[in-house]
Chain A
Amino acid sequence: MEQPEKSSKLFLRPILIFLLISLALFLSPTVPTLMLQFLFSISADKISIFATVFLGIFIEALPFLLLGTLASGAVEVFVNQDSLKRFIPANPILAAMAGSVMGLFFPVCECGVVPLVRRLFRKGLPLPAGITFLLSGPVLNPVVILSTAAAFGFGKILALRVGMTLIIAVITGWVFSVVKSPWEILKPTTWSPCDIHGCPGENHEPGNDHEHHHEHQPIHSTQAMSLAAKIKQVFLLAQGEFFEMGRFLVIGALIASTMQTFIPQDRLTAFAQGPVLSVLGMMLLAVILSICSTVDSFIALGFVNTFTMGSILAFLVFGPMVDIKSALMYWRVFKGRAPFYLVLIPFLLSLLGGVVINLLMV
């Protein structure tokens, strides 16, 4: 009985998908027009515009990406993570606030913050502090503040980006304080650093065996190194991270420059002006582009002339907290409803913040 049912389902599914797609195409006459325009508009001129815009974004972002990877490599080699927990208070709100400034000492963007937070949880970091750091670290760190200032200047956008990120991250961290221990929401074994290191026989259960765990971390082998060897290690780690995170920059810049080359800006402005729609649009764009927070200001700059201010801020605040790559990491690191809330709470608060800015600052 099951076999025919299955095959009929298999047969039906492509037809259903085809019908849905053609219905969507019929309902939105702009989609086929845009596709045709895209196909016919590829010329030598367009390709040279595309290359110029792409290289502009890439070259501009390059030093900031390198700064971030060097800083992150230095943290790995020089900072002893055990010393950290002494500075985190027990009160959940204070812990969340402490977590929000941790980014100043651990300058990582969203690509690096998830594994780092997981490592810090192992060392006894309180949950609210970790969650707040997870969400705010990619923005509230010297490299990102510097690159935001480089793109927008020391002004309203920078202040609002920092302020909104702080508020949203602390609220989310405080909400998570209802969970008593990080181990209630952390998946025990999947996506541990040891899956990559391949260290054998490691016990992932909390509490027992912490000291033993350290010895397998490659970081700890660096403590015996000379300063020159440590610096060399920083550069090698930075190069590895440059390749790991740089590909998100390249792909994001490719998408952004393709859009800029082939979609006339007046078509974008149709989405760009509503106080709510524009915010939703830029948040969606932040998720799709998945750009590293060290460089997203430069991408956002390309939309400043068309999109509302609230939507630019929602892009700059929500993008570093949730995008395709970080959401995937959340679902691999956290269990139960935790990753869902990690996406939902920042989403609602960023939307609210963006709309409020649009309504108050017109």
Chain B
Amino acid sequence: MNKSLPRLIQSLIVAGTALLIAAMLLNGRIGWYIHQRFNYLMIFAILCLASMAVLSLRNFVNKPAEDAYHHQAINSSEIFVLAIPLALALLIPARPLSANAVSTRGTTYTAPGSLPAAPSEGVFSITPDERNILDWLRAFNTGKDVNALVGERANVIGFVYRDDKNFPGQNTFMVGRFVITCCAADAFPIGIPVDWDDAAQLTDDTWVQVQGVVESIELNNVNIPLIRADSVEILSTPDQPYLFP
């Protein structure tokens, strides 16, 4: 291979990665991969990659013959390893984790205790209408009498999936979300069973807004919420598909 060609390819991969992250930030897709608190770090990464690309391209144009990386042990074929993220992002249709990933990750019906300290009491100060799925599970997990919550109206957004083991009924589906602390790699699913007469019509992975009355049922000796739905509306995939503890 021409000695200067790997340098050009390196610059292009770096520029492409900068563009990819910038595009994800602009169209909101970045939220499908990482926690939103890292968006500032992403701006740093874009600036850093862009500077590298500009400087190395200028260096390449000015001194095409010089082997600028002679002090780095780089094998030209190994450069392409860094093109893998670009290729995967461009070739595979982007989708957030949803129903299809639940089966490999197991479902938690009660908010796990291992989560970073969250003010469990705080969920009671959120009006029932604004509680998300995680808030409802936390509210049922505080150890307080859950009867205070029974009868409140829930209004939650999530994707549809089935739990045939615990809720095989024709009229029950699960409304779920993935919770992430950092990025998609640490995501775990949570869900609430929903009773709805037309449950069978909903296909897995559809995003829905569920409204209805909260009941308390027992599963493996633990009280969990169940929503008796009076309205289920189909939504498009939200920009922010995950919940944060």
Contacts and interface: CB of A to CB of B under 8 A. Distances in A.
Chain B at the A interface: SS class = helix
Contact of A241 (B72, B97, B116): B72
Interface in B43-98: 44-45, 48-49, 51-52, 55-56, 59, 68-74, 78-79, 81-82, 84-85, 88-89, 92-97
A166 B188 CA distance: 33
Size class of B's contact patch? 35 or more
A298 B88 contact: no
A236 B59 contact: yes
A196 B72 contact: yes
Interface in A255-281: 256-257, 260-266
B70 A196 contact: yes
Interface stretch (A24-32, A60-68, A98-106, A205-213): A60-68
B183 interface: yes
B70 A197 contact: yes
Contact of B56 (A198, A239, A246, A304): A239
B41 A56 contact: no
A240 B72 contact: yes
A151 B182 contact: yes
A81 interface: no
B95 A52 contact: yes
B42 A63 contact: yes
B140 interface: no
Interface stretch (A10-18, A43-51, A171-179): A43-51
B77 to A, nearest CB: 10
A264 B74 CA distance: 37
Contacts of B49: 66
B184 interface: yes
Contacts of A55: 33, 85, 88-89, 184
Interface string A279-319: 00000000000000000001101101100000000000000
B30 interface: yes
A298 B185 contact: yes
A298 B24 CA distance: 20
B105 interface: yes
Interface string A241-257: 11110110011001011
Contacts of A57: 183-185
A252 to B, nearest CB: 11
B73 A49 contact: no
B72 A193 contact: no
Contacts of B201: none
Contacts of A330: none
B186 interface: yes
Interface residues of A, number: 60
Nearest to B95: A48
A254 B82 CA distance: 12
B21 A236 contact: no
Interface in B2-38: 10, 14, 17, 21, 24, 30, 32-34, 38
B101 interface: yes
A58 B104 contact: no
Contacts of A197: 70-71
B181 interface: yes
B92 A51 contact: yes
B168 to A, nearest CB: 20
Contact of B14 (A198, A239, A299, A302): A239
Nearest to A300: B186
Contacts of B92: 47-48, 51
A301 B181 contact: yes
Nearest to B58: A232
User: Among B38, B94, B104, which residue has the most Cβ atoms of chain A within 10 A?
Assistant: B104
B109 to A, nearest CB: 14
Nearest to B17: A62
Nearest to A51: B92
A165 B116 CA distance: 24
Given A246-B82, A250-B82, A301-B181, A59 B104 contact: no
A56 B183 contact: yes
A242 B73 contact: no
- In the A-B complex, the 6 residue pairs with the smallest Cβ-Cβ separation, listed nearest first, are A56-B184, A240-B72, A56-B183, A247-B81, A45-B100, A60-B183
Interface of A: 45-49, 51-60, 62-64, 66-67, 70, 150-151, 153, 193, 196-198, 218, 232, 235-244, 246-247, 250-251, 254, 256-257, 260-266, 298-299, 301-302, 304-305
27 contacts: A45-B100, A51-B94, A52-B32, A53-B97, A55-B33, A55-B88, A59-B21, A59-B33, A59-B34, A59-B85, A60-B38, A63-B41, A196-B71, A232-B55, A232-B59, A236-B59, A236-B68, A237-B71, A238-B48, A239-B10, A240-B74, A242-B52, A243-B79, A246-B82, A250-B85, A298-B182, A305-B186
Given A244-B73, A298-B182, 11 more contacts: A51-B92, A53-B184, A53-B185, A59-B85, A66-B48, A67-B44, A193-B71, A236-B55, A236-B59, A237-B72, A264-B104
